[in-house]
Amino acid sequence: MDFAFVSGDPALDLTGTVGSRRDEPNDLLATPADLERWVAECDELPDRVAVDSATFESALALREALYRLALDRVLDRPFDPAGLEIVNEMAAGPVLTLRLSDAGLHRSGNLRAVLSHMARSGIALLADPRACLKECGRADCTRIYLDRSRGARRTWCGMDACGNRVKAAAYRARRRASTTTDTPVAPHGALPKRDQR
């Protein structure tokens, strides 16, 4: 399974590891190994962390709390108190260690530091009144993303996964509609005039 990092913020990308929250949710973080892989693939996090069952459960609790708070922001309603408590508590944890070298920035730390970093990232985003958060416009996708487009006109969380699907479905629908309107309808058993000889 491939992870998508299209939400514009690592905290939102974490919430997006549930592919859809309607009907039948598709959870991409089914095991601690999945979370280890997700952390390694996220650019803002360490290359490697170890995940045990307790920290795995903490990560899932943080993910769900961040999602509830982001959805509250999208729907312009007060923040969920239980979600606030989880996120604020996680943000008070240890910090990632940063090292600069000629090769660039290197981040290190354990999963508790990763979760603390994710909680802080979520807090900074959710507290920013100028941040434009939206839910993806594709019916089957519930990913929340940060819209930084000009005029805040972005519709989908990402073009690869959702935008292309919506555009392809619309194209197929137009093709079907034009095919049915272009085909002449003849009485039962008769050929259309242009085919009669």
CA contacts within 13 A on the Cβ side of 26: 10
State pLDDT tens for residues 67-96. Answer: 999 999 999 999 999 999 999 999 999 999
CATH code at position 34 = 1.10.3300.10
Read off the pLDDT band of 196 (50, 70, 90).
very low
Position 133 pLDDT exceeds 90? yes
Q: Evaluate whether 109 touches 95 at the Cβ level (below 8 Å).
A: yes
Could you tell me how far CA 195 lies from the centroid of its own chain? Answer: 53
Q: Which two tokens stand for residue 35?
A: 């979370």
Q: Which pLDDT value is given to residue 197?
A: 43
Domain residues for the domain of 107 are 10-182
- Nearest Cα neighbor of 18 from 31, 28, 6, 3 is 28
Position 58 pLDDT exceeds 50? yes
Is residue 91 a part of any domain in this protein? yes
Total structural domains in the chain? 1
